[in-house]
């Protein structure tokens, strides 16, 4: 079920905290900057992933990276291949870096087709491990420049009938 809730994204009890990032290795504004400040090791893992993909000439746009919110768990999860995320304690959390934009800056940066590909990956992973999902209201729309109506339509298409619990966190609802 998809719900828009009045809640800070970081207060969510969801297992996957999803946010959009660029493929340039810069978490310089918005939710990404908040994550880099709150979880500096997530920023480090993000930059390692970008560097690895660039070095190996692997496509980054449309991919997803799952980084545990606990520093001690970094060694348990391969944040480059994302292949050791299994069923886990329901209180366990990941920051999910959704690579939905090539660059950063003003104007339209979000690639809706690649965002959808990443959402499909997230849905598949969440279903396989029994995870709940939270993401910021207007993901990909504020700094990414996409029309929220288009993004929300993709969210509904990908997650609508999945049976997953998806919170879209909005702090300014009155």
CATH of the domain at 138: 3.40.220.10
pLDDT for the residue 74: 76
pLDDT for the residue 174: 41
For 137, counting Cβ atoms within 10 Å of its Cβ (0-12 exposed, 13-18 middle, 19+ buried), the class is buried
pLDDT for the residue 173: 45
Closest C-alpha to 60, from 47, 73, 75: 47
Q: Is 88 helix (H, G, I), strand (E, B) or coil?
A: coil
Residues near 82 by beta carbon (within 8 Å), at least 6 away in sequence: 64, 65, 66, 125
pLDDT for the residue 126: 93
Max CA pair span of the chain: 47
pLDDT for the residue 103: 87
Walk along the chain (174 residues) and give the pLDDT tens digit of each residue. Answer: 999 999 999 999 999 999 999 999 999 899 999 999 999 999 999 999 999 999 999 999 999 999 999 887 777 777 787 666 665 555 678 999 999 998 887 778 999 999 999 999 999 999 988 999 999 999 999 888 899 999 999 999 999 999 999 999 997 644
Q: For residue 113, what are its two tokens?
A: 């087709």
Count up the domains in the chain and report the number: 1
pLDDT for the residue 91: 61
Domain that holds residue 50: 2-170
**Model pTM score:** 0.92
pLDDT for the residue 137: 97
In angstroms, the CA 159 to CA 157 distance is 6
pLDDT for the residue 26: 92
Closest C-alpha to 63, from 73, 53, 71: 53
Q: Which residue shows structure tokens 């491990």?
A: 129
In angstroms, the CA 64 to CA 62 distance is 7
In angstroms, the CA 87 to CA 148 distance is 32
DSSP state of 75: G
pLDDT for the residue 83: 62
């Amino acid at each position: 079920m998809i719900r828009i809730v009045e809640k800070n994204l970081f207060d969510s009890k969801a297992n996957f905290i999803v946010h959009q990032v660029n493929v340039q290795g810069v978490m310089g504004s918005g939710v990404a900057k908040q994550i880099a400040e709150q979880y500096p090791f997530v920023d480090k893992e993000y930059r390692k992933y970008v560097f690895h993909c660039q070095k190996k000439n692997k496509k980054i746009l449309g991919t997803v990276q799952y980084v545990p919110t606990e520093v001690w768990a970094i060694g348990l999860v391969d944040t480059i291949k994302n292949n050791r995320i299994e069923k886990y304690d329901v209180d366990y959390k990941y920051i999910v870096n959704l690579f939905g934009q090539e660059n950063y800056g003003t104007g339209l940066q979000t690639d809706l087709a690649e965002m959808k590909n990443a959402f499909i990956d997230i849905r598949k992973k969440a279903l396989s491990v029994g995870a709940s999902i939270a993401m910021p209201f207007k993901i990909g729309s504020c700094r990414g420049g996409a029309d929220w109506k288009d993004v929300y339509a993709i969210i509904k298409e990908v997650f609508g009938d999945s049976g997953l619990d998806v919170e879209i966190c909005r702090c300014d609802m009155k």
